[in-house]
Structure 1
């Protein structure tokens, strides 16, 4: 008896060979495909030759590969059937695309190809079309070929996971110079225009994933992309860039973008807080994008859908991709296997996610295959639902059970894999620290409103620290309001919040700045970058000299008026921060302010051709004691009036960034007339007409810059004059002047509030020490050095003088820095006085006023002691 098995095996082989996927033959499969897909019926009816083409042995062979070369041959052959215009070539390309989609859909519907093969072939066709469109866009435009240009695909196309009716997410990039920017954008616009020529049935493109989205540059340079992603890039952009892949254009440029993708999407230092952000993004999609009635039907964005699987994969890639390079791939299914290999997700759960992903992507393809529409909604019509189920080889009940089962599994795994997905207690700001809680509440709402998740997350980290620091501020309401203004001006809020949350000292410094000065707050709001520039440099710990400032000013080679003003503001800001941080004492702050003014004077004298005049510093400039809001008391000696006038304009002319300094020439002869005079005029005036107070003012005279020979001659004259007057001090005139000043200056407030001219105020210490030095024939411009002379003879008096003077100068400094302007009286109003007291370290205004009164009393006694006279 013959062996039956060879015949049986031949019969089985014949059946297998004749069957086509889940159908018995190609014809049966094609018939079912047309019944299922309205799109297929319409196209085959319009193009009967396409049906014959698919039936052909070569094309119906699932193993036949149709790559870019074969597609290009078919496209070239089809061109003869269309007008020889650009529109005709685009139409030929569209028809080629639709025919290829039908072939892929047919193999998909018949279950001849698995999901991965279907998605890769759909992506391959899209890549081919993009290469052709780029070629067509460049034709006839030589400038478009003069720089590297690439089309990077994102999303499903980037991952080689494209479906039938999805938009294709693209980013255009170039690597030309700034001169190529316009042509790069013109090329980008041309490509967009070519897509529109297809008039439907082609690809819809989405360019919103480029840097800054729809408001960004259409074709950014590679450098622009780098700057954007690493300064402004959000976590969702890290996830999106995972899929970035070259679809068309310059390969070398695409490779450089690939390096950028690797560094940005897979950072070395990223915490699992990233998972919390994924939860927030997904929650926002469910709330804002999906209507309530579509959440259960949407297999992409709904609960337990495709997007949750993609989020799981991409979040793990971003967090662990740098540690495990194997995770840096683009395919969702391949990466799921890698997550298991890296020990990040158990094998059982990986398999569950893969099964759900394959099922939902196949279902997605079926939904879109029906009418070539971009949909992710399961139909609510029973008949339509049955057709979809049948196309997957399932009964309706099985189909619905599988959907619910996979949804539940994905949602369960999504929740379990993100440990930070549990609800956290929202931080509640303590409004009791504010004098005006409602105002603070509005400011906090403004601070929290309208930000990306990354920014909100950074702000949440910052808020507890912000509350802690605000508690220690004198005026928390004011500090918070100014902080909100600063964040609005700063621009990169996520970076700012992250930086401040990581640096409590920087946050405290910023708030103390807002607490201390309106003037410096305004500088910072005008130039927000100053804060970071100063804090990052060593400048806060450096006391600059005249030479240091001068060297930096010498580097400014144009627009001197404006750029000198900007430079000065930056340096004032730096010195101010040194002050409020306690990195320099009052004497050092005054010396540095003076050095800045001197350096600007020295450089400006050259620029204004005024160097033939000698500039003598008087007052606090002469004593190297310039402070906030100080004018420059000067004498100009020489004959160069035009240079002096130009210098005065250079300093005091108002510009959009303010002035440099105001000169004060009131100490010149008669306090009026030309601002520059010959030395002989000065000598004649001081010898024959000057009053004693004018002579006394000369004790501060010091050469600053300009003609040194003239200056030294004048200084020798001053020394002789000073010595001569010290032999016959007119005491009556001296005391009469002091009394008149005390009565007339700041007479609008009670004497106790006049910290400068009140008995025992700053004026008494200055006048008293000057007279003491004059009695000993010592001319010392620096008051601080004058105290050292006093210390040699009377240490107790010197200590008392320095203590009283320093306290009042600190009071003055705190008041002056508010507006960077002269102030000589205390605030009378209670709230302002309270703030001053706290800024000076007192618990209350009462404590401050008690100590202040004691200082005035002590200084008055010291004045009597220094003058060796009893007050009349």
Structure 2
């Protein structure tokens, strides 16, 4: 099993360091080809020898008071961190990276999922694979996060590549102010993390207590776990047990004790009093994994519900024992997302997908997803069963995408595009079912052949995030229906209205497995007062003569998802004509800024005290507004941008996709001349970060709210989901988002202040 936590068989002696195992792996051809292994082995020997010499030198402790420079690296070796090199120094960034890369190199031959570049991503995957204990993962992630932030602040101060801390107290106090951490606390944190990293790095080159049949890095067994799991049912609510649960990280120890009591009294499962030794080991592992989840209380609560639902099935618990990486990821999901947890509780068999998550595709092309659904529908004739399979397929694909998002295996671009792929395929499949149900209307006397859904002259026009292929968890389907009448087949306005109504019902009606999507039709011509469907002729007349500026702005995101080729092409040409080709009216920048201000006020919760990643000043909407203003102003000069793209968003300055539009806008010289201080690359980076925060918010409890929690504990849980570590995780997230908002607000002011002067 690729993800199993058991160490691979080896001829290593019982007491061996990871460094020796790494060299043996290379020599045995465990990864790559022999010629490459020889080069890597030589490089490792050289690097290891150098770092081993340095690691064998005496380490500074947090209580040391003297400062002794290192001859080779200018190392400052003291409890005081003055002058320490955060990257190359003892216990610094380089030692963390070397430790992680050594584990990757040993195990990536049998675990391809470990082949990632990012150190933090690799740490997460090593944790899920059972190759790194929770404590070691937390210690290394905490240290890496702190040291990287220090490195960035040092480089920002000197505007150059540098890694050495200030050598005097005044400089260190200035650094601590930029870090928003008190100087004395920062000194202690640096010293503590250096000591931990140095100790772990030493494991690579010194004999350890591990034996060959144990995981590479043995799980820690805190005394609190023994205290809790050794207690009799009647003892679980005693103060000593509740205190142990609190120290393990549970915020509601009485609730956890009550749930554990229920599991202890069951005649089956790893927590049962009658469980065997193997299941007892599983109970310890599961309890520790719950404690390491972003929300430990939520993780254990869902675990208790799952075991109650599964019942007495020894094969299920054996699967957990044999696949600890899947068990840990399951509990991380339980502690991260109520949305996904509820899917797993409704459909326990879907957990089988977790076991293979290490080999499940991180990225699937749209055609591959569509072919998969077609296979599942093959041979099923009953309409209700077909629609049920579509719903289950949508949930399973959402789960697959979310698992990789939670594990940090996919980029936010991959996440949002694949969610859009699934939505588009589900719309097509639901439309096919609706057309099949109405086919008696299509049996014209002269032509007795049934028409396929792709032959129907009805275009589902995706708008907003759907049109831009930037779909999120819990996003609505923003759509407009456009048709071309066909009198010969009896396809008139009434028919297309019925077709649209049935499609909306199929997509939005709740069932025993939940609903597919919420549908929003408010962007259609004339809004709620307009007809549900509109002809192509009426659509063009509306946007050519009556559409307001905000509707022209919304048209930027329009993308036809269904319909025959001729209809799709006509819609894209109309989009280019009405959104980009026509001259802008006066006062565009001022009017768009006013609309944005009204949206901010209407949001209500997006105040200065609450960060809403979507609606707050400096949030997602600001980036989207300034991007769309730049598109309206500059993209019309770009020729050949209205062509068909086989259903995909267009590339370039006229793209429906915000990030692709920013890439295209960066190539327009007139824009660079008008706004020389505008950093479009920074905007892309900030947009991606905000979308990731939004995704984690929406996965957490299946809600459309994009505001950060105001409760300190909930904010810390969110920050842990995003990779921040330690007790100050929530404050670090809040601080980082505050800096991001300032950057985006500066760009927004630059565009709409000077844009108003240029286009008043």
User: What TM-score, normalized by structure 1, do the two folds share?
Assistant: 0.49
Shift of 1:765: 0.5
Inter-partner Cα distance in structure 1 for 2:508 and 2:293: 35
Deviates more, 1:744-753 or 1:778-787: 744-753
SS where residue 582 of structure 1 aligns?
A: coil
Inter-partner Cα distance in structure 2 for 1:804 and 1:765: 9
Inter-partner Cα distance in structure 2 for 1:502 and 1:539: 16
Unpaired stretches in structure 1, ≥5 consecutive residues: 1-424
Inter-partner Cα distance in structure 2 for 1:598 and 1:573: 17
Inter-partner Cα distance in structure 1 for 2:582 and 2:328: 53
SS where residue 827 of structure 1 aligns?
A: coil
| Map of 1:482 onto structure 2 | 302
| Map of 1:438 onto structure 2 | 254
Among residues 699, 709, 716, which one is paired with 1:827 in the alignment? 709
Deviates more, 1:704-713 or 1:429-438: 429-438
| Map of 1:815 onto structure 2 | 697
| Map of 2:504 onto structure 1 | 648
SS where residue 637 of structure 1 aligns?
A: strand
Q: How does 1:541-690 map to 2 (within 5 A)?
A: 541-555=361-375, 556=377, 557=380, 558=382, 559-609=385-435, 611-638=456-483, 639=493, 640-672=496-528, 673-690=530-547
Residues 817/563 of structure 1: CA separation in 2 closer, same or farther (3 Å cut): same
Q: State the structure with bigger RCO (CA 8 A, min sep 6), 1 or 2.
A: 2
Alignment of 1:757 with 2:615, yes or no, is yes
Inter-partner Cα distance in structure 2 for 1:659 and 1:436: 32
Contact 1:544 1:595 in 2 (8 A): no
Inter-partner Cα distance in structure 2 for 1:726 and 1:582: 44
Among residues 460, 475, 497, which one is paired with 2:280 in the alignment? 460
Inter-partner Cα distance in structure 1 for 2:712 and 2:752: 36
Larger radius of gyration: 1
Residues 784/454 of structure 1: CA separation in 2 closer, same or farther (3 Å cut): farther
Inter-partner Cα distance in structure 1 for 2:462 and 2:623: 21
Shift of 1:866: 4.1
Inter-partner Cα distance in structure 2 for 1:458 and 1:749: 53
Inter-partner Cα distance in structure 1 for 2:713 and 2:290: 18
Q: How does 1:317-466 map to 2 (within 5 A)?
A: 427-429=226-228, 430-431=244-245, 432-433=247-248, 434-452=250-268, 455-466=275-286
| Map of 1:263 onto structure 2 | none
SS where residue 741 of structure 2 aligns?
A: helix
Inter-partner Cα distance in structure 2 for 1:506 and 1:528: 14
| Map of 2:659 onto structure 1 | 784
Inter-partner Cα distance in structure 2 for 1:694 and 1:749: 27
Inter-partner Cα distance in structure 1 for 2:478 and 2:466: 6
Shift of 1:750: 4.7
| Map of 1:723 onto structure 2 | 580
1:226-250 Cα shifts (integer Å, max 9, x gaps): xxxxxxxxxxxxxxxxxxxxxxxxx
SS where residue 562 of structure 2 aligns?
A: strand
Residues 827/725 of structure 1: CA separation in 2 closer, same or farther (3 Å cut): farther
Inter-partner Cα distance in structure 1 for 2:482 and 2:705: 30
Residues 659/505 of structure 1: CA separation in 2 closer, same or farther (3 Å cut): same
| Map of 1:109 onto structure 2 | none
Inter-partner Cα distance in structure 2 for 1:865 and 1:852: 20
Deviates more, 1:454-463 or 1:838-847: 454-463
Inter-partner Cα distance in structure 2 for 1:439 and 1:649: 41
1:506-532 Cα shifts (integer Å, max 9, x gaps): 121011101111111111011111011
Residues 534/476 of structure 1: CA separation in 2 closer, same or farther (3 Å cut): closer
Inter-partner Cα distance in structure 2 for 1:538 and 1:467: 22
Inter-partner Cα distance in structure 2 for 1:665 and 1:641: 13
Inter-partner Cα distance in structure 1 for 2:405 and 2:583: 38
| Map of 1:511 onto structure 2 | 331
User: What TM-score, normalized by structure 2, do the two folds share?
Assistant: 0.56
Inter-partner Cα distance in structure 1 for 2:292 and 2:688: 25
Alignment of 1:850 with 2:740, yes or no, is no
Unpaired stretches in structure 2, ≥5 consecutive residues: 1-222, 229-243, 436-452, 484-492, 636-652
Residues 492/581 of structure 1: CA separation in 2 closer, same or farther (3 Å cut): farther
Inter-partner Cα distance in structure 1 for 2:359 and 2:422: 14
1:557-583 Cα shifts (integer Å, max 9, x gaps): 232222211221111111111111122
SS where residue 706 of structure 1 aligns?
A: coil
Task: Count how many residue pairs are aligned between Structure 1 and Structure 2.
Answer: 448
Deviates more, 1:445-454 or 1:663-672: 445-454
Inter-partner Cα distance in structure 1 for 2:412 and 2:285: 30
| More helix as a share of residues | 1
Shift of 1:493: 4.4
Inter-partner Cα distance in structure 2 for 1:749 and 1:461: 49
Among residues 336, 348, 359, which one is paired with 1:528 in the alignment? 348
Shift of 1:756: 1.5
Among residues 740, 748, 751, which one is paired with 1:863 in the alignment? 748
Contact 2:336 2:699 in 1 (8 A): yes
Deviates more, 1:826-835 or 1:736-745: 826-835
